[in-house]
Amino acid sequence: MTFLRHTASLLALTLVACGGPAQQPQQPPTPSVGFVTVAEQVVTLTNELPGRTSAYETSQVRPQVNGLVEARLFTEGDVVRQGQPLYRIDPSTYQASIANARAALARARAGIASSAALARRYGELVKINAIAKQDYENAQTTAAQAQADVAAQEAAVRTAQIDVARTTIRAPITGRIGRSIYTTGALVTAAQTDPLATIQRLDPIYVDIQQSSADLLKLRQQILSGQIARDGAARVKLMLEDGTTYGPQGTLRFADVTVDPTTGSQIIRAQFPNPNGLLLPGMYVRAQLVEGTQAKAMLVPQRAVGRDERGNPTVMVVGADDKVAPRTLQTSRTIGDNWLVTGGVRPGDRVIVEGGGNLRPGMAVKPSRWDPNAKPAPTQPPAQGK
């Protein structure tokens, strides 16, 4: 009995000295992740493209008669109205032409009276065979020629009047006129190649946008197949050179029917109101083109998307048993902070957005709905066993 007590005491001392029974290692806590649920929604599709502004109407002011410029009747840079006098050319030569044409017309009218009277007299005489029939026919011909001479001289008077009117050069359109290339005293001709000045109508104004023909073809195919719906005229917004947004919206007018073989792009023309003249021809802008709407679009936040070794976009989703599974996505474009997804996930899938940095396929997680406005909780290192 004494031996058993001594043996028990030694065993107790041995366990105390060895630190007691072996401790079990602590299991790491289940990681918490934030997810978003994929859902189909209506999305407006936009595309940002470079463009240049161009005038709605452009007219080069040219002389239609020859002469010396007597006066310039406008201020450079002003808005001129259609029909407003711009230049005056010396009209003296053309006024003399009018006087000459009027004198020839008076002479022709005087000749028509005598020839018509002679034809009437010959008409009476030929009835009684007092003159030859040939003489009567000659008198009729002379009267008809006199009438034709009057018509020709009337046309010459109108031509001379037109030339005199053209010595005052008027604005063919309403718009803003640029600098004058010719000054007072310059000799101008009707056949010259250089314009006197150029007028541009700037309200409204065009924006010529360049888009890849491949992208435009894809858009047309999506519209024809019903994937994208167009609601009337496409709307366009402008970003100016300084990064600001131009206030009024524009509308898409047409797409050029020719593809530039050097760049593989087409020109899309949009029209914008420009009441304050802020947009000037030749300005570089970026146009945000509203292409249409997609009724059943799926969006995934960009921060949830990673890349595999082949560069394919991937996400981690939470399965029905709260275990992680990878998915490879098919994406078409970005919309804001999201990817527009065409495959790889389905409506109802829970895509991990937060806390998925060190996850492995098949790992159990503690999911919760991700709030984009919530501040992320500070991460704490796992507790170490003593």
Average pLDDT over all residues of the chain: 82
Q: Are 38 and 349 in contact (CB under 8 A)?
A: yes
Lowest mean pLDDT among 31-35, 159-163, 226-230, 241-245: 226-230
Which percentage of the chain shows pLDDT scores above 70? 82
In a domain, 362, yes or no: yes
If asked whether residues 138 and 160 sit together in one domain, one would say yes
Q: Are 199 and 98 in contact (CB under 8 A)?
A: no
In a domain, 307, yes or no: yes
The mean pLDDT value for 214-237 works out to 69
If asked whether residues 254 and 213 sit together in one domain, one would say yes
If asked whether residues 304 and 217 sit together in one domain, one would say no
Task: Give the pLDDT confidence score for residue 16 in this predicted structure.
Answer: 45
If asked whether residues 209 and 277 sit together in one domain, one would say yes
If asked whether residues 281 and 258 sit together in one domain, one would say yes
Q: What distance in Å separates the CA atoms of residue 33 and residue 354, rounded to the nearest whole number?
A: 6
Residue 63 reports pLDDT greater than 90: yes
Given 245, 266, 294, the domain boundary residue is: 294
In a domain, 27, yes or no: no
Q: What distance in Å separates the CA atoms of residue 165 and residue 159, rounded to the nearest whole number?
A: 10
If asked whether residues 51 and 82 sit together in one domain, one would say no
Question: If we measure between CA atoms, which residue out of 283, 369, 372 comes closest to residue 35?
Answer: 369
What domain count does the chain have? 4
**Of the ranges 12-16, 151-155, 293-297, 377-381, which is most confident?**
151-155
Which percentage of the chain shows pLDDT scores above 90? 29
The DSSP secondary-structure symbol of 195 reads: -
If asked whether residues 317 and 255 sit together in one domain, one would say no
Q: What angle do CA 116, 118, 120 make, to 5 degrees?
A: 70
Q: How confident is the model at residue 11 (pLDDT cuts 50, 70, 90)?
A: very low
The enclosing domain of 134 has a CATH number of: 1.10.287.470
Question: If we measure between CA atoms, which residue out of 112, 62, 86, 51 comes closest to residue 250?
Answer: 51
Q: What distance in Å separates the CA atoms of residue 177 and residue 78, rounded to the nearest whole number?
A: 6
In a domain, 333, yes or no: yes
If asked whether residues 185 and 73 sit together in one domain, one would say yes
In a domain, 11, yes or no: no
The enclosing domain of 172 has a CATH number of: 2.40.50.100
22-48: pLDDT as tens digits: 555 666 788 888 889 999 888 888 878
The enclosing domain of 341 has a CATH number of: 2.40.420.20
In a domain, 15, yes or no: no
Task: Give the pLDDT confidence score for residue 166 in this predicted structure.
Answer: 93
If asked whether residues 275 and 308 sit together in one domain, one would say no
Task: Give the pLDDT confidence score for residue 10 in this predicted structure.
Answer: 46
Task: Give the pLDDT confidence score for residue 86 in this predicted structure.
Answer: 95
Show the domain range for 349. Answer: 32-41+297-369
In a domain, 13, yes or no: no
**Structure token pair of residue 1:** 């009995």
Q: Are 279 and 205 in contact (CB under 8 A)?
A: yes
The mean pLDDT value for 238-245 works out to 89
The mean pLDDT value for 16-25 works out to 51
Q: What distance in Å separates the CA atoms of residue 200 and residue 47, rounded to the nearest whole number?
A: 29
If asked whether residues 323 and 341 sit together in one domain, one would say yes
Q: Are 42 and 228 in contact (CB under 8 A)?
A: no
Given 246, 266, 294, the domain boundary residue is: 294
109-155: pLDDT as tens digits: 887 777 776 667 767 676 777 777 777 677 778 777 778 888 888 89
319-375: pLDDT as tens digits: 888 888 899 998 888 888 889 998 889 998 899 988 877 788 888 888 888 887 766
Q: What distance in Å separates the CA atoms of residue 125 and residue 116, rounded to the nearest whole number?
A: 15
- Residue indicated by tokens 């009995």: 1
What amino acid is encoded at 45 in this protein? L
In a domain, 8, yes or no: no
Q: In a 3-state reduction of DSSP, which class is residue 109?
A: helix
If asked whether residues 145 and 213 sit together in one domain, one would say no
The DSSP secondary-structure symbol of 245 reads: B
Q: How confident is the model at residue 216 (pLDDT cuts 50, 70, 90)?
A: confident
If asked whether residues 275 and 209 sit together in one domain, one would say yes
